[in-house]
Amino acid sequence: MTETYILFTLAGTTYAVRTRDVQHMEMVEEITPVPNAPTFVEGVVFSRGQVVPVLNLRARFGFERIAADVRARLLIVHAEGRTVGLLVDSAREFAGIATDAVRPPQDALTGLNGRYLEGIAVLNDRIVLVLDLAAVIDVAEPLVGGAKETV
């Protein structure tokens, strides 16, 4: 069986999220900052009639923040009963990936932390990291150092 994914880049790496979890994708326009939000929450946007929190995936994954350019995209996803925008460097590609081609992260990473990953696949000689959306949007998870941030 094959599932369809939207592929996006972040800090030079290709990631994937299931198309069934993506409501839509849009260019980044104005993100309104929110006071006292967790460090990885960029703010909120008004998208298709609703206010949506935006998670900066670079900050979420511990990468350096960069200013959004014309290639940056917001992936509006729905998971765990929540709608959230994921700010990514670029997203322009759809791909089918066989379910048996996605290996669990603990098998592929051998001991490295794959906290935000559902699995890892190879697609046309390119490594693709498949996101675990539930883990990515869990804003109350413990941070490095044991503290918790909440929205």
pLDDT tens string 1-46: 999 999 999 999 999 999 999 999 999 989 999 999 999 999 999 9
What is the H or E stretch that residue 59 is in? helix 57-60
**DSSP 3-state assignment of 58?**
helix
Comparing CA positions, the residue from 143, 135, 128 lying closest to residue 91 is: 128
- Work out whether strand 90-98 and strand 73-79 pair parallel, antiparallel, or are unpaired: unpaired
In this prediction, residue 113 carries a pLDDT of 56
Q: Which residue has the tokens 């959230």?
A: 84
What is the H or E stretch that residue 55 is in? strand 50-56
In this prediction, residue 109 carries a pLDDT of 55
Instruction: List, in order, residues 6 or more apart from 50 with CB less than 8 Å away.
Output: 83
Q: Which residue has the tokens 């918790």?
A: 148
Residue of 142 and 81 predicted with greater confidence: 81
Both tokens of 94, joined, read 């759809």
Distances (CA, A) of 54 to 23, 44, 111, 113: 14, 5, 30, 24
Domain annotation for the chain: domains and CATH numbers: 2-137 (2.40.50.180)
In this prediction, residue 110 carries a pLDDT of 47
* Cβ contact 6:23 at 8 Å: no
* Cβ contact 77:22 at 8 Å: yes
pLDDT tens string 107-151: 555 445 578 899 999 988 899 999 999 999 887 654 433 334 444
